[in-house]
Structure 1
């Protein structure tokens, strides 16, 4: 059968089904509403029938959410490969961040740079990770983020520190400022309140803190009892999402209270969760290093596999407001760009 004809028939059938449900539910509502609001009792309707209908309605609403999500997203749509800006002299790409203007920030294993690229992958700037002053040496950024005011912040696992780049310092090319020592910082992000979020792998904690104009830390807070936290992303509600190496992804509220774990909420089995990000709809995207996949966890509906093949060792991840997903594939030494939305929001 011609694919176009088959697709048209499927569309027509789906539209008819949804339209039939709409008509039937509206007709039932019109008939039942006056009886239930004015008539005493419930006639011959039993408690069992009410429970049965509620369960069926819940299941049907879930099916409709899944259909809506499957229409909205697409799978394995690789649109670009961005080579590691450091070349092959160092390890593979590790961290990736997409700023509001579409610029991409990339770190690589054992490479003392943060590279800033355009949304199409062209080099804009290379920030050498070099300490200033006497005895200054290089440091190795593990992951990277950008504050709302445009400052670059990195997690340095080797030096056990967080660094922030100040472009307005007395040095002509700006300077890196060491903010604090952290046991074993891997992932880094910035929440909606401009607080820096740090996943401390060795101590099993997430640290958050604000910075004043003099780069002094304010309102330091730590969330304990995590199992090997790796990557972290701010959530739309002011909270954050953090991946755990031991096989789960946890969501916290803006008051730093545990909201849920994705494995429990969605009955999803993770292998080795790595990069996480939250898109403009509030959906959570997770890269699984062991399974070599990326799944999207919507607010309503079942998880959706956005990338099912083509990844070797996914690490950091970011998504843009243009409906693109950036995956740092350490095993392939490049950033892979996927179109994951059928249409940009």
Structure 2
């Protein structure tokens, strides 16, 4: 059968099914509503029938959510492959962050650099990770993010420190400022209130704190009892999402109380969860280093495998407001760009 004809028939059948459900539900509502409001009792409707109908309706709503999500997203749509700006001298790319304007910030294993790329993968700027006032002292960034003021912040696991690059100094090229000592910072992010989030791998904690204009630390809070936290990302509810090595992905509220774990909420089994990010729709995206996949966990519906093939060792992930997914593939030492939205959910150029 011709593929176009087959697809057209499938579309027609799906639309007819949804339209039939819509008509039947409206008809039943128009009949039942005045009877249930205007008379005593339930007529001949039994409690068991109500219970069964509620269960079927819940399952049907779940099926419709899944259909909506499967129409909304696409799988394994690789559109670009960006080589590591550092080259092959150091280890593979590991940390990645995408800003609102589409700029990409990349770190690599054992490389004392943060590279800033445009959306096409061209290098805009390279920041050497070096203490300006101590020319021989370099550090190795594990992960990268942007503060609310637009400054680059990195986690330095080797020295147990957080660094922020301040371009507004008397020095011509800016200056890295050491913010605080942390046990073993591995992942870094910024929550919706502007607080810096740090995944402390060895201590099993996530720290959050604010910075004032003089780079002083304010309002430190910590979440404990995590199993090897690796990457951390802000959550839609004002909290954060953190991946645990060889474990789970957990979502915390702004009060730092556990909201849920993705494995229990969605019945999903992780191998070795690594990079996490949250898109503009509030969906959580997780790279699984062991299974070599990236899954999307929507607010409603079942998990969706966005990338099922072509990854060797996915670590960091980031998504743009233009509907693109950036995966730091450490195994192939490059950033792979996938289109995962059928249509971009938001465009800063034309928000409408």
TM superposition score category, shorter chain reference: over 0.9
Aligned residue pairs, count: 345
Report the CA distance between 1:148 and its aligned residue.
2.3
- Kindly indicate whether residue 62 of structure 2 is the aligned counterpart of residue 62 of structure 1: yes
Query: 1:147 Cα deviation (Å)?
Result: 1.4
Which residue of 2 is the match for residue 209 of structure 1? 209
Give, in whole Å, the separation in 2 of the partners of 1:273 and 1:105: 21
Q: Residue in 1 aligned with 2:260?
A: 260
Q: Which runs of 5+ in 2 are unaligned?
A: 346-352
2:10 maps to what in 1? 10
The answer to whether structure 1 residue 123 and structure 2 residue 130 are counterparts is no
- What CA distance in whole angstroms lies between the structure 1 residues aligned with 2:203 and 2:170? 35
**Segments of 4+ moved more than 6 angstroms:** none
What residue in structure 2 maps to residue 286 of structure 1? Answer: 286
Cα drift, residue 190 of structure 1: 0.4
What SS does the aligned partner of 1:296 have?
A: strand
* TM-superposed deviation, 1:237: 1.7
The TM-score normalised by the length of structure 1 is 0.99
Q: Give the whole-Å Cα distance in 1 for the aligned partners of 2:134 and 2:198.
A: 28
Structure 1 residue 14, shift from structure 2 partner = 0.2
Q: CA deviation at 1:135?
A: 6.8
CA distance in 2, matches of 1:99, 1:344: 16
1:177 alignment partner in structure 2: 177
In 2, distance between residues paired with 1:135 and 1:314? Answer: 34
* C-alpha deviation, 1:241, in angstroms: 0.3
Q: What SS is found at the alignment partner of 2:101? A: coil
RMSD of aligned residue pairs (Cα, Å): 0.7
Unpaired runs of 5+ residues, structure 1, are none
Q: Which aligned pairs between 1:8-87 and structure 2 lie closer than 5 A?
A: 8-87=8-87
Question: Shift of the alpha carbon at 1:134?
Answer: 4.2
Map residues 1-345 of structure 1 onto 2, 5 A cutoff.
1-134=1-134, 137-345=137-345
**2:348 alignment partner in structure 1:** none
3-state SS of paired residue (1:291): coil
Q: Deviations over 1:303-322 (max 9, x none)?
A: 00000000000001100000
Alignment deviations for residues 135-178 of structure 1 (CA, whole Å, 9 cap, x no partner)? 75000000000112110000000011000000001211000000
TM-fit CA distance, 1:246? 2.7
Q: Secondary structure at the match of 2:21?
A: helix
